[in-house]
Chain A
Amino acid sequence: MTNAASAAMHLTDYGNGDALKLVPTRNGFGTGLVEAGERDANVIAICADLSESTRMEAFSKRFPDRYVEIGVAEQMLVAMAAGLASVGKVPFIASYAMFNPGRSWEQVRTTMALNETNVKIAGAHAGVSVGPDGATHQAIEDIAIMRVIPKMTVVVPCDSVQTRKATLAVAARWGPTYLRFARAESAVITTEDTPFEVGVAQTFRDGDDVAIIACGILVYNALIAADELARDHGIACRVVNNHTIKPMDEAAVVAAARDCGAVVTVEEHQVHGGMGSRVAEILAAQQPVPIEFIGVQDRFGQSGAPTELVEHYGMGVTAIREATLRAHARKRAAR
């Protein structure tokens, strides 16, 4: 399992079940936001009646004068934040991704992006891994609706440690931004020493048979699938943590396709319109190769346990292995 790329990235011993730590990505947002507030007095937080579950609570206690509670009003959340940004604040706005930015799309487009205001959307509880709350609360279209808006930055970190770094990074960097995280506990893959830069994809595992390009908490499943494929089939996968959906690291995506000749994309999102679709847009124009798409296949979610749903909707380790084998076979057939 040791791999030069993972060593360079200072990853945890994620493959060792006993050592594996499980922490929700939203926790990293909570700690990162307090630190961002310490670094910059203009950073403020606005919440729509979900301070505990979005993890804004810590900021509200540390900086009560820079915390604004507006109740169940997600359109207000965005438009008001745009106003605050226009007078020099750096507002982070939090609710569930289903409503923020799900409910407020046109306000995001007009008051944040077209209007060029420095607002940071924190979308919590994204993906089917929200679990028993069911389809109404499982945001699996949010990456698509955010990435099609000009000027937006869209970041989907892979674990809690990276979510903390991403929060700090987007706070320090000018621009309307969507930061997406999840509710469920998920594997901690990165360490304090792992680098992070918005717009720079990371090779977490090297290989040249198939490139698995993943984002969010499913990067862990991608890494496990890659380890198993190496062990069981002698297939060497490159695993790319493609955390920035916009602006996407096109050079890294093209290089992965060129070096490996086949690609699998992995995201907790509809396969239509998300990260994988962007990868396909890039590769169709610059480096056409066989691509398999892991994600929700144009369906709605439902109630269930997080892992049960990730498996059911075809995003588990087995599904990634099978997709990788398909991509590998297609590459060979094409030669």
Chain B
Amino acid sequence: MGSLAPERVAELERHANDIRQGIIRSLLAAGSGHSGGSLDMADIFAALYFHVMRHDPKNPDWAERDRLLLSCGHIAPVRYSAMAYAGYFPVDELLTLRHFRTRLQGHPERVSLPGLETTSGPLGEGLAQGTGMALGAKMDHKDWRVYVVTSDGEHQCGLHWEAMMTAAKFKLDNLTCFIDRNVIQIDGSTEDVMPLEPLADKYRAFNWEVFEVNGHDVGAIVDAVEAAKAVRGKPQVIIAHTVMGKGVSFMEGDYLWHGKPPKRDEADEALRQLQTARDLIGAGARG
């Protein structure tokens, strides 16, 4: 039993469902882009934007905000959708994703859209920048926190491990890293392409505090973040076990959905499934 009241959990599940529907609509309009990872991180982004983070959608440059970095920029649709539903910009703007002159670039660009914190897409660079921000907050005795969302595939980049060492060296307990542990990357399973396991042990060996969570249980996600925030003297990682394409039956667990958008009929079916799930939220069934 988590700490959140059931009604609050249901609210967050509805936000996650909205985010998923926004992802499907924007990817359909774009005609290209990454469905699988975007969908599987919807619950984490719902928890971050609608419960965990200190932020103000009307004042994205607020100096005291928590910083959220999306290191695996290819899943930008989940962030754009979460930001739109949180009030950063009109939901309709999601339909401009990946179009010429859009603020919603195929991979996130900080100078293009307020509230993004970094430019990303080239993998493995988020934790290093987050480490810099967290160290800056410490230098200035600020109490805002840094959250970095990473993919499992980008754990094959050397720079990420350089950042892990550095964050531990400086005892950056104001830094929390999420891992989208869907065990999938472009060429197949991460464990076939370049094995990451035992991933939790590797983080522990690098002097990080490790939490593992079902990445589709919003209540458990919120509790994990609270536990992470209570840690002193160490950066924390939350390994979120996720299912690629979560919420759309024909995408779930299939690596072929890493980098393609739904076609019209697939999008219709996906939205139908998501709406059915939404109607059941709070009625004992899961969203």
Contacts and interface: CB of A to CB of B under 8 A. Distances in A.
Interface of A: 47, 49-53, 69-73, 75-76, 98-99, 103, 131-137, 302-305, 308-309, 312
Nearest to A131: B32
Nearest to A74: B157
Interface string B105-134: 111010000000001111110000000000
A134 B105 CA distance: 6
9 contacts: A69-B193, A71-B190, A99-B122, A132-B30, A132-B98, A133-B121, A135-B105, A136-B109, A302-B100
A49 B32 CA distance: 19
Contact of B101 (A71, A103, A131, A302): A302
Contacts of B193: 49, 69, 71
Interface residues of B, number: 32
Interface of B: 30-33, 73, 98-102, 105-107, 109, 119-124, 153-154, 156-158, 185-187, 190, 192-194
Given A133-B98, A308-B100, 4 more contacts: A70-B156, A72-B185, A303-B99, A303-B102
B105 A303 contact: yes
Contact of A134 (B31, B106, B154, B194): B106
B133 to A, nearest CB: 19
Nearest to B185: A49
A62 to B, nearest CB: 17
A72 to B, nearest CB: 4
Main secondary structure of the interface of B (DSSP, over half): loop
Contacts of B101: 302, 304
B194 A71 contact: yes
B153 to A, nearest CB: 5
A312 B100 contact: yes
Given A71-B185, A132-B33, A134-B107, A303 B156 contact: no
A69 B32 contact: no
Contact of A72 (B73, B105, B123, B192): B123
A236 B106 CA distance: 41
Max count, chain B CB within 10 A of own CB: residue among A52, A72, A75, A137: A72
Given A72-B157, A98-B122, A134 B98 contact: yes
A136 B107 contact: yes
Contact of B194 (A53, A69, A98): A69
A50 B107 contact: no
A52 B186 CA distance: 9
B124 A72 contact: yes
Nearest to B120: A136
A47 B100 contact: no
Contacts of B73: 136
Contacts of A103: 122
B187 A302 contact: no
Contacts of B153: 49, 71-72
Contacts of B109: 134-136
B74 to A, nearest CB: 8
B7 to A, nearest CB: 40
Contacts of A131: 32
Contacts of A76: 158
B258 to A, nearest CB: 10
Given A69-B193, A71-B194, A136-B119, A51 B187 contact: yes
B236 to A, nearest CB: 23
Contact of A71 (B33, B107, B122, B156): B156
A99 B159 CA distance: 13
Nearest to A60: B187
Contact of A136 (B99, B121, B156, B187): B121
Contact of A73 (B31, B156, B187): B156
Contact of B106 (A52, A73, A303, A312): A303
Contacts of B123: 72
Contacts of A136: 73, 105-107, 109, 119-122
